[in-house]
Structure 1
């Protein structure tokens, strides 16, 4: 069965709807948590403050192993969305540009 891909404008229209965006971003965050490397951030008393995630690569375009939005690309294929447009919507919602998707989970 072939995936149907939506036009970038359709991706924007759908992800601009709060209930669709919420489902999309929750699933995307789960995919990132499952695939990115994690580390614990402890407070000065040694108590777990939070978990952070990172891609494990230097964020440099000359790094041949760095694929800054590989999981977004993969996840968008599942939804039939344009990954570049989805990235734009996410950045618009969080109010800043991203260098790498690991930044979404505190990387």
Structure 2
């Protein structure tokens, strides 16, 4: 499918993050986030990066077939280095990451 435009991704990601941040029961529990087969593209990963400080620790992230490309891989590298709620980086908590069928390319793969 066609990637969403930046103006389309931001409100969707903001709503998702807002809902996750409001859930009291999630505060100390690791988060499993499946976004696979959603055309969020690099802008969606950037929105996740901006939201990371408000999210519980991210243990599982599936971005399979999300149209990331090399640009999304660079945004993902930034996301993994971003502090999440509690101070540790997103990458420090992450145990499973799925990026199949995203056309990351060699440079994108190295960045992640």
Same fold (TM over 0.5): no
Name the TM-score, length of structure 2 as normaliser: 0.31
Larger radius of gyration: 1
The structure with higher relative contact order (CA 8 Å, sep 6+) is 1
